[in-house]
Amino acid sequence: MSAEGDPTAARPLLYLDVDGPLNPFAAKPHRRPEGYETHRMLPDTWIAQHGGKPYWRVKPLRVWLNPAHGPALSALTDRFELVWATTWQHDANTHIGPKLGLPELPVVEWQNTNRVGPDGTFFKTAELVQHAAGRPFAWIDDDLSTPDRLYVEREHAGAALLHWVDPAKGLLDDDFDALAAWADSQGDTTPTAA
């Protein structure tokens, strides 16, 4: 289907990171942030990082998730197409999305996981620019810096919002407001009936 006939192509992409924005892992370990619930998870990507140990010998990850984030993200789907942009990759659809009440979302599959991209950028940056292919996008992550912003300004033809989230606090109401305001500033992204 051409972009012209695809109603999602009219909306900017919203690239979602898990650890930091949705799981405030940097909060004090003995004090779960208000509004969050604790989950113990064994995603395949985590098991794979443990050198072939059987899954029952791998300590589960402690993940804090705020159930209010699911409805808040769902409320943005009239403005954005949501896409997982996380090292959880497809595990985000099996472990994170269901806990938040999100449907299965598209996933960016990373080619470079060396943690460093071109020009000192975060490893995700160049791949997200390539994935967006000129389409406007917003990206929420806790690993954003000036080199990432400069790279996107130089290499991406469309509008972009790189929105840093404090990994000790996770997504806050102000972050959702900023995303909505940015999408609204991009003009009418509502698909029109043919």
Q: How many CB atoms lie within 10 A of CB 108?
A: 19
Q: Does residue 114 lie in a domain region?
A: yes
Q: Find the CATH number of the domain harbouring 155.
A: 3.40.50.1000
**Contact in structure between 131 and 109 (CB atoms under 8 Å):** no
The predicted pLDDT at position 93 comes to: 97
CA angle 92, 93, 98 (to 5 degrees): 105
10 Å Cβ neighbour count for 45? 15
User: What range does the domain containing 133 cover?
Assistant: 9-24+67-185
* CA 90/CA 78 separation, integer angstroms: 23
How many domains does the structure of the chain reveal? 1
Give CA–CA dist 140/34, Å, rounded: 21
The pTM for the full model equals 0.88
In terms of phi and psi (left: phi > 0; alpha: psi -120 to 50; beta: otherwise), the region of 10 is: alpha
Q: Decide if 53 is inside a domain.
A: no
Q: What is the pLDDT of residue 5?
A: 45
> Tokens 């942030």 identify what position?
33
- The answer to whether position 99 is within a domain reads yes
| Phi/psi-derived region of residue 35, left when phi > 0, alpha when psi is between -120 and 50, beta in every other case | left
From first to last of its 194 residues, the chain has per-residue pLDDT tens of: 334 444 445 799 999 999 999 999 999 877 889 999 999 998 887 877 777 777 777 888 899 999 999 999 999 999 999 999 999 999 999 999 999 999 999 999 998 766 777 788 999 999 999 999 999 999 999 999 999 999 999 999 999 999 999 999 999 999 999 999 999 999 754 433 33
Residue 192 belongs to some domain of the structure:
no
In a domain, residue 193? The reply is no
- Which residue in the block uniquely carries the two structure tokens 């010998």? 57
In a 10 Å sphere around its CB, with 0-12 CB exposed, 13-18 middle and 19+ buried, how is residue 174 labelled?
exposed
